[in-house]
Structure 1
Amino acid sequence: MHRLCAIPGDGIGREVVPAALDVLKKLLPNVKVEEAEAGWECFERHGEAVPESTLARMRDCGAGLFGAVSSPSGKVPGYRSAILTLRQALDLHVSLRPVRSWPVTSPKAGIDLMILRENSEGLYSGREHWEAEGVAVAERVISKAACQRLAQRTAEVAKARQARRITLVHKANILPLTCGLFRDTCRDLLMGEGWGDVLDERLVDVAALQLVERPEAFDLIVTTNLFGDILSDLACHWSGGLGMAPSLNWGDGIALAEPVHGSAPDIVGSGRANPLAAILSVALLLRYHWREETLATRLEAAVQRYLETTGHLDFGVDTTRTITQGVIDAL
């Protein structure tokens, strides 16, 4: 039996997670769903953004769906982002973020790429300190072990996708130690796995330009934590924006699906939240963690049929309900 820890989080997370669960239950009627808390509002209630009980439930279930998190714009004593805490505490060391053309929402056809982002370290390691008055320092952590794990997962995804191109994205000309270690470690492992013929590399600024100019030229993009965060948000424009941007935080024997969008406090309770990013995140969980390739393909095909049939998305008061039911009907 499949077990899933549902963590709605903040804002519209409490709207899109139930929608995605309704779709999942159509595909897997016997899935056992257990709910847990995390997020800014959880911190306000309990003094911690991710209670130990949530981490324990995630480990016990082995799979989860996270909604969205609200975070303060400034430092709050004792608070650290819930999703960063989940990624690091559960060792969800790789993030998969696909970008593809969809009917209605995409401004360009023919795009089907995936960004594989190192998910555990880099500038998101949380190492910040004051060096002197008026001088703050953040430490960027890049380890050979984390790069090897990312490259190994890249080889696995490349085999499943029959990848035509793998692009390492870095800034080794300016950061020769950290980005150099990332590039060389990933390149050596991928070449050793037989992917040398389709392997290339780009500086991150050039990659950003080319993602705007010719996104269809990319297949797999492999990069560090911060670069992956920025490039995936840029690239999701071609899917139709953050409302169409799914992701999977992927560890060893554990995974957490997560729509890329935020908590959208301005539309909470209005019924206007687009659940497709959460629904498509479930498809990633099905394919890569639960190894339910047939069900994942069915779900993505249902989203495709729904968008083709409806011909438009009207973000009115019944958006969440209407889209969810439309996908269920298309299954």
Structure 2
Amino acid sequence: MQIVLIEGDGIGPEVTQAACRVIAAAGVQVEWIKGMAGAAAAERYGEPLPEQTLEMIRRYRIALKGPCTTPVGHGYRSVNVRLRQGLDLFASVRPVRTLPGIATPYEQVDLIVVRENTEGLYAGLEHEVTPGVVESVRLITRPAAERIVRFAFDLARQMGRRKVSFCHKADVMRLADGLFLECARRVAEDYPFIQFEEIPIDTLCMELVLEPRRFDVLVMENLFGDVVSDLAAGLVGGLGVVPGANYGTRYAVFEAVHGSAPDIAGRGIANPIAVIRSAALMLEYIGYRQEAQRIEQAVLATLKAGIGLTPDLGGDGTTMTLTEQIIHHLHAGV
């Protein structure tokens, strides 16, 4: 089986190699086809997302990706945004659940954030009207709105979830979010067996902090999803432990959602759990459900045991010790 591997920048090569080791330990044979993206690709090709990398994914359909550096306020556009738009990866899925061994304010959080990935303010439609005045266009279209809400309902049905919450700001952005809300209501009518609720973005953020356990599947536009998915990750231990997936009709890219952490790159202390759990989502997607479940259970057992954990998880271990502990529990058949 051939899968594209994009190691990314900073700690990317370290954490993606850890994921590759865990996949191999689970008994899944993969031939990794390496593609480049991010700062290293920009230096070599003058382009942070070379066309040959996109062509690799189009050919092999599936990719596992590490974090890529994005310059803030200057330089090239986000590699992640360009990758999602270039491959029409319209659905970002972020499962968020409480993990053993990680102290958090809440127990038994178990929700999924579904984010529209190709439109909104991240469509990149902005220009300088006149010096000192910049206009950004927030793009919402009926086809994109309908397909992301339908994706969320189908995901809820497949996973046995009972409620879909649609997040919006239609009281202020009456045309854009009004259209999105209209589409959500129309799609919800096709799923009468799943509870549907409408909730403003500001109310959602407050209620996530007050009582996140009342939510099940959340679906929203691009910018809201970017913010809310990180907020939700903070409820269960942060971006270092939460997996991410981007789905289209033909392609899928699975990625760690944290940054490239250049300050600790090469020190061997990066936490690989986010990309390992993303790899488990990838295996489940391509039909290796049992192996994916074994990896997930091994991660949970490792966190519960508390041995070999990296500093961000409260331990004094390394990327290697944490990976070896996960492989140990994987072989032990937890």
TM-score, normalising length from structure 2?
0.93
The Cα shift of 1:143 comes to 0.9
d(CA) in 2 for partners of 1:294, 1:147: 33
Q: Per-residue displacement from partner, 1:4-45 (whole Å, max 9, x unpaired)?
A: 100011111111111111111222432221111000221122
d(CA) in 2 for partners of 1:91, 1:27? 30
Q: 2:184 corresponds to which residue?
A: 186
Structure 1 residue 233 corresponds to structure 2 residue 235: no
Output the CA distance in 2 between the equivalents of 1:106 and 1:92. 34
Partner residue in 2 for 1:83: 80
The separation in 1 between residues aligned to 2:7 and 2:316, in whole angstroms, is: 20
Pairwise CA distance, 1:98: 0.9
Counterpart in the other structure of 2:220: 223
Contact 1:40/1:82 (8 A) holds in 2: no
Contact 1:246–1:260 at 8 Å: present in 2 too? yes
Structure 1 residues 64, 93: CA separation in 2 closer, same or farther (over 3 Å shift)?
A: same
Residue number among 276, 279, 283 corresponding to 1:279 in the alignment: 276
Find the aligned partners of 1:138 and 1:40 in 2 and give their Cα distance.
26
| Alignment partners' CA distance in 2, 1:123 and 1:162 | 32
- Once residues 317 and 308 of structure 1 are traced to their aligned partners in structure 2, the CA distance between those partners, rounded to angstroms, is 16
Report the equivalent of 1:302.
Answer: 298
**Cα distance in structure 2, aligned partners of 1:187 and 1:320:** 46
1:256 equivalent to 2:253? Answer yes
Residue 16 of structure 1 corresponds to 15
Q: Deviations over 1:162-195 (max 9, x none)?
A: 1121100010000111111112212211221334
Contact 1:20–1:278 under 8 Å retained in 2? yes
- Matched residue type, 1:267: I
Q: Find the partner of 1:205 among 193, 196, 202.
A: 202
Rounded to whole Å, the distance in 2 between the matches of 1:191 and 1:27 is 41
Distance change in 2, residues 1:312/1:171 (3 Å): farther
Contact 1:271–1:318 (CA under 8 A) maintained in structure 2: no
Matched, 1:159 2:157: yes
Change beyond 3 A, Cα 1:312–1:204 = farther
- 1:111 equivalent in structure 2: 109
Structure 2: stretches of 5+ with no match in the other structure: none
Which whole-Å CA distance do the structure 1 matches of 2:31 and 2:227 have between them? 34
SS in 2 for 1:247: strand
Structure 1 residue 238: Cα displacement: 1.9
Query: Would the alpha carbon gap of residues 106 and 3 (structure 1) be closer, same or farther in structure 2, given more than 3 Å must change?
Result: farther
Structure 1 contact 96–117 (Cα < 8 Å) conserved: yes
Q: Give aligned pairs, total.
A: 326
Query: Does the CA contact (< 8 Å) of 1:104 and 1:313 recur in 2?
Result: no
- Counterpart of 1:297, as a letter, is Q
Deviation at 1:106, TM superposition (A): 4.4
Q: 1:101 to 1:26 in 2, by over 3 A?
A: same
Give the letter aligned to residue 178 of structure 2. G
* Unmatched tracts of structure 1, length 5 or more: none
What value does the CA root-mean-square deviation take over the aligned residues? 1.6
Structure 2 counterpart of 1:154, one-letter code: A
Partner of 1:323 in structure 2?
A: 322
How much identity, in percent, do the aligned residues show?
40
Does the aligned pair in 2 maintain the 1:13–1:67 contact within 8 Å?
Answer: yes
Measured against aligned partners, the alpha-carbon deviations of 1:92-140 in whole angstroms (never above 9, x if no partner) come to: 1100001100012241211110000001111100111011221111101
Q: 1:132 to 1:11 in 2, by over 3 A?
A: same
CA contact (8 A) 1:93 1:119 kept: yes
Residue type at the aligned position of 2:108: G
Query: For 1:116-127, what aligned pairs fall within 5 Å after superposition?
Result: 116-127=114-125
> 1:257 deviation in Å?
0.5
Contact residue 169 and residue 204 of structure 1 kept, 8 A: yes
Shift of 1:155: 2.0
